[in-house]
Amino acid sequence: MAKQNIVPPPGSKIRLKDYDPDYHEDYDKKSANKETDRLQARMCELQEMLHAQGTQSLLIVLQAMDPGGKDGTIKKVFEEINPVGVHVTSFKAPTTHELAHDFLWRVHQHTPSKGVIGIFNRSHYEDVLVVRVNQLVPPEVWKGRYEHINHFERLLVDNGTRILKFYLHISKEEQKARLQARLDNPQKQWKFSLGDLPVRERWDDYMEAYEAGLTRCNTEYAPWHIVPANYKWYRDLVVTRAIVDAMEDMRLSYPPPEPGLENVVIPD
């Protein structure tokens, strides 16, 4: 299987039709799960160092069409992680109070503090996706938000936050299959929303909006990863591997012990 560039070069025009959502390198489910397990063990070690060191943080942004696997990715990739050092935020439709502020106000409050991994299930990118497709603000407003997002992410990076952004790329056919599976399973029907149907009807509009956001906000300091996500086991591997690679690059270590510990005697 020809290699697919999951991290497009900054500044390049991104066309999602050029990315195969079925791509899985030379892995099958068994080999992918084995590699994911190995990487998860290392991620746990790195996360403990991140938490102990307390000088850097990691922000993970997950975007996808529903049901692209955002919840499943979080559940699988972070199943072994100490929850003390992880904070997940799911962004729904903004409240009246949130709408009274700038569009990044509600997001900035949930960025991870030092020593913490923050996970955004949806994110500030909804304001150049849903807002654009549904014409909730004039074009001149959402068009200006790409630059605002880049400056916002630059601010976070300059203050010690590593940013990883993942677009979970599924095909329209796979979306239909997953929606049908939810509809057919009484235990999954609570996840099905009638609002998913008009969104599906505007698939092409959403692809155009995603391509613009991926292109305009793909920077060296906050890159996008276009993750082939039709196969959940490969999706999980790609995300886990990218997180481990980024954390290795953060040069994490345990802080030095207090001086004089060699003389400590624990009393009976």
Mean pLDDT of 208-234: 98
Instruction: Report the distance separating Cα 35 and Cα 145, nearest Å.
Output: 38
Residue among 116, 165, 160, 166 nearest 250 (CA): 160
The yes-or-no verdict on residue 12 having pLDDT over 70 is yes
Sheet with 224-228, strands from edge to edge, namely 86-90, 117-121, 57-64, 161-169, 224-228
Mean pLDDT of 212-240: 98
Q: What is the chain's length? A: 268
Is residue 109 within 8 A of residue 95, CB to CB? The reply is no
Residue 2 pLDDT class (50, 70, 90 cuts) = low
Amino acid at 34: K
Q: Is 215 exposed, middle or buried (0-12, 13-18, 19+ CB in 10 A)?
A: middle
Angle at 56 between CA 129 and CA 145, to 5 degrees: 20
Instruction: Report the distance separating Cα 110 and Cα 59, nearest Å.
Output: 10
Is residue 121 within 8 A of residue 89, CB to CB? The reply is yes
The yes-or-no verdict on residue 101 having pLDDT over 80 is yes
The yes-or-no verdict on residue 1 having pLDDT over 70 is no
H or E segment at 149? helix 139-158
67 preceded by cis ω (within 30°)?
yes
Amino acid at 208: E
The predicted pLDDT at position 107 comes to 98
The yes-or-no verdict on residue 255 having pLDDT over 70 is yes
Is residue 247 within 8 A of residue 59, CB to CB? The reply is no
Give the chain's domains with CATH numbers: 20-248 (3.40.50.300)
Angle at 153 between CA 247 and CA 204, to 5 degrees: 100
Mean pLDDT of 153-161: 98
The DSSP bridge pattern shows strands 224-228 and 117-121 to be unpaired
Residue among 119, 121, 43, 33 nearest 81 (CA): 43
User: Which pTM does this prediction carry?
Assistant: 0.96
Is residue 66 within 8 A of residue 122, CB to CB? The reply is no
Residue 115 pLDDT class (50, 70, 90 cuts) = very high
Collapsing DSSP states into helix, strand and coil, what is residue 120? strand
Written as six digits, the tokens of 3 are 């290699």
Tell me the pLDDT tens digit for each residue of 59-94: 999 999 999 999 999 999 999 999 999 999 999 999
Collapsing DSSP states into helix, strand and coil, what is residue 108? helix
